[in-house]
Each structure stands twice: as C-alpha cells, then as structure tokens.
C-alpha cells in the first residue's frame, strides 16, 4: 500500500493506494478523525460489486451509515439527483458531524462531492474511486459539481476530500473500454509533466492492461503525485492547473459535436492530445520522433488518434464556442518535448485548421 499526500495546508489529505484497501476504509476514516454518521453515495451496480466490503469495513470501525443511490450515467449528474440526496440526508438526521463517502467513478464522485460541499454549508467527504479515470484524476483535487442542461460541470464548488482510498482491485470489473479511456489521462501526465513516467508507461503497458497490481499501484501513485503537485501550486485553477487540459481543447470540441455519445472522455482527449502534439511539432516545440512516440503509445494502449470522420468547420466553430475561449483566442496546452506542457493562446488559426484538415484526410503536414 502506498500513500500520497496532497499538501494544501489545513486542507491536506492522503490518498491511500493499493489492492484490497477498500477493506480499510472504516479504519482509515477513524485515523483522519472522522467521527459522525456516514452517508454512502453509489449506484446500484457498483454497490452490488463493492458495497459489502465497504459496509463491513465501516461496521468494524463502529460507524453508523445509510446508503443513497443514483442511476448510472452522466445524465444523472444533476442538481435533481443532489436534491434527492439532501432529502435523504435530512430524513436520516445527518448533521454537521456526518460525512459523505462516494463509491464509484467520476460521475458518482463529482455528485457526492457537491452534496458534501453544500449540505449544511459543507461536511467532510471521502472518495472511494472505482474507475481508472477517477483513481488518477477526478477523485484528487477538490473539483466537485454537476451538469446543467446548458453545459457540463457548470454548477460546482471546490471541496477537497478528507481522504481518498484508491483500491486498484476495483478495476478488475471495469469494462476494458473504460480502462483504456482512463489510460489516456495516465499518458497525459507523462507527456505534460514527467518524461521518465512516459517511458515507464511505455515499458509496462502490457502489465497495465493485464492489471498487474504492483505496476497499477505505481502508475496510480505517480499520477496522483503529479496531480497533487499541480493542485498544491494552484488549488483554485487560476494558472498552473490549466496544463492538465492537454488534449482537452480539441477533445472537448469532439465530445460536444458528437453530443457526448460517440466517445468516452479519454477516447476524445487521446485524439486531442495527438493533434495538439502535431500542432506543437509544426511550431517547432516537439520533435517528429516524439510526436510519433506519443501516437504509438496511445495506439498501443488501444486509443485511436484520428477520428473516423468529421467536419473541419464544425469542430473549429465548436473550438471557438468553448467556455474557455476569450476574445476569440483558442487556448492550447502543447508539449514542449515529452515531459513538459505549456499553455498558449498563440496558435495561428490557419495552423489549427491545417492540422484538422490533415487529420481528416489522413495526410501529413
Ligand atoms: N472532478 C474532477 O476533477 C474531474 C476530472 C475528470 C473528470 N471528471 C468527471 O468524471 C466523470 C467521468 O467519470 P468516469 O469516467 O469514472 O465515468 P463514470 O463514473 O460514468 O463510470 C463509467 C462507467 O463504469 C461503471 N463503473 C464504475 N466503476 C466500476 C467498476 N469498478 N466496475 C465496473 N463498472 C464500474 C459506472 O457505473 C459507469 O457505467 C465525468 O462526469 C467528468 O466530468 C471530474
Ligand atoms: Zn480529462
């Protein structure tokens, strides 16, 4: 079992990573001083798989708990779902000493976190992530929230967890497509922050895909360390944290124009990362071999780096409509060699269009 500390002064917390640590949630909660009643938030499907282990660990540590369920899927990450949980919390008599435990992927974690951020002006919150994306990304950093009909993640808060328990065994039941999608974010950390980690992923890809517990623990640990380091520098997403958006500029546009139906998040950002690498290459910030290494690793992981087909103008207009665009400037995170990402608003429009066109026709620049 490994531990990563997220250093945020009074809001610091540990991420406990390893196989079977789900059985320790109760004792770990005691260790960090949580003493009230527990509200578990999950989905019926995930609870069916892991609820019993969580309940047993809470019982062993003498916690009383109630469980609240939401339906599976992004479309249920809404205020309506949260409101239903407020009713449940009030009915169960939960007070300011109570705390929330989320058991699930990013959808459950974001929703449960927003509930914890707002119930009685905020109660403590423990994340038990069960998808690779949640283990390496969404459970760390304190961004919580729900979607609005007009856009994703429009309603939210910063509310750091008191503890994250990352049981890598939960990945055994995850659909391979979701595992691979999460791998896109793992590879992202290597490209924007740590060349050696990029090489490590490259050298251990088969073990990762086979869910080797030792390798997975190391992978999740390094991702959490990197995210912790970035979040510690910029808790409220004012500057440094933007580097985590590598691949997300074009990735989001792709998700948007396909109505969030064709691509899983990681699948879309894999394409976005490859195209951003291509832009970086054209600007002279990335060697052609490095760009090739990025594409190769993504593809070996099972991620496509080109969309089957798209309308260049449509994706370009979507880029311009993004909420992060100000005064018509599209911001990109680009790799400056593998291992370092930088943010720029200076990519010429013609270059963006060229790269999109080339991707569509399969040619090279
Ligand atoms: N807060 C943040 O910083 C942050 C960062 C990135 C993404 N997110 C959010 O995360 C969400 C996506 O999260 P996700 O990719 O985990 O998707 P998800 O939560 O929808 O989970 C994916 C699917 O896997 C199932 N599942 C979860 N764990 C399982 C397991 N162990 N075994 C079998 N099936 C399991 C779920 O029921 C679901 O069907 C999005 O809403 C996104 O906005 C938040
Ligand atoms: Zn992402």
Question: Is residue 170 within 6 Å of ligand 1 at its C-beta?
Answer: yes
| Segments of the chain with pLDDT less than 50 | 364-365
pLDDT tens, residue by residue, 49-74: 999 999 999 999 999 999 999 999 99
Question: Is residue 139 within 6 Å of ligand 1 at its C-beta?
Answer: no
Q: What atom in ligand 1 is closest to the CA of residue 173?
A: 32
Predicted local confidence at residue 362, as pLDDT: 65
Question: Is residue 143 within 6 Å of ligand 1 at its C-beta?
Answer: yes
Predicted local confidence at residue 365, as pLDDT: 47
Q: What atom in ligand 1 is closest to the CA of residue 265?
A: 15
Question: Is residue 134 within 6 Å of ligand 1 at its C-beta?
Answer: yes
How many CB atoms neighbour CB 48 within 10 A? 10
Characterize the bridge pairing of strands 332-335 and 2-6.
Answer: unpaired
Ligand 1 pocket test: pick from 102, 105, 137, 166 the residue with the most ligand atoms within 8 Å of its Cβ. 105
Question: Is residue 279 within 6 Å of ligand 1 at its C-beta?
Answer: no
Helix residue ranges, H only, the chain = 25-31, 44-60, 79-91, 106-118, 132-133, 176-193, 195-203, 205-209, 213-233, 248-257, 265-282, 288-300, 312-321, 349-361
Question: Is residue 137 within 6 Å of ligand 1 at its C-beta?
Answer: yes
Contact at 8 Å (CB) between 100 and 125?
yes
Ligand nearest the Cα of residue 185 is 2
pLDDT tens, residue by residue, 275-310: 999 999 999 999 999 999 999 999 999 999 988 777
- Closest residue to atom 6 of ligand 1, CA basis: 138
């Amino acid at each position: 079992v490994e531990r990563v500390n997220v250093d945020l002064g009074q809001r610091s917390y540990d991420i406990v990573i390893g196989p079977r640590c789900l059985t320790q949630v109760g004792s770990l909660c005691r260790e960090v001083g949580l003493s009230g009643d527990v509200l578990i938030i999950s989905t019926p499907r995930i609870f069916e798989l892991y609820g019993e282990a969580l309940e047993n660990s809470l019982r062993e540590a003498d916690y009383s708990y109630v469980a609240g369920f939401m339906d599976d899927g992004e479309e249920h990450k809404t205020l309506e779902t949260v409101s239903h949980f407020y009713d449940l919390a009030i009915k169960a008599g939960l007070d300011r000493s109570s705390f929330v435990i989320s058991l699930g992927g990013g959808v459950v974690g974001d929703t449960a976190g927003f509930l914890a951020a707002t119930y009685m002006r905020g109660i403590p919150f423990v994340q038990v992530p069960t998808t690779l994306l949640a283990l390496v990304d969404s459970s760390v950093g304190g961004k919580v929230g729900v979607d609005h009909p007009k856009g994703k993640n429009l309603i939210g808060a910063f509310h750091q967890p008191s503890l994250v328990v990352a049981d890598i065994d939960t990945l055994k039941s995850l659909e391979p497509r979701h595992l691979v999608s999460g791998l896109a974010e793992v590879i992202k950390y290597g490209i924007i922050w740590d060349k050696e980690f990029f090489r490590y992923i490259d050298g251990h890809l088969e073990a990762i895909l086979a869910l080797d517990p030792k390798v997975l623990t190391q992978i999740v640990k390094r991702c959490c360390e990197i995210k912790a380091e970035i979040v510690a520098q910029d808790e409220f997403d004012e500057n440094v944290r933007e580097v985590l958006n590598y691949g997300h500029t074009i990735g989001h546009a792709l998700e948007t124009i396909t109505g969030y139906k064709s691509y899983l998040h990681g699948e879309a950002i894999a394409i976005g990362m490859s195209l951003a690498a291509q832009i970086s290459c054209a600007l002279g910030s990335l060697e052609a071999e490095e760009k090739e290494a990025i594409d190769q690793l993504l593809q070996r992981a099972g991620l496509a780096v080109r969309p089957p087909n798209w309308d260049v103008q449509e994706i370009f207009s979507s880029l311009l409509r993004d909420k992060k665009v100000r005064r018509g400037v599209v911001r990109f995170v680009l790799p400056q060699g593998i291992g370092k990402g930088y943010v720029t608003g200076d990519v010429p429009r013609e270059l963006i269009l060229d790269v999109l066109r080339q991707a569509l026709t399969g040619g090279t620049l």
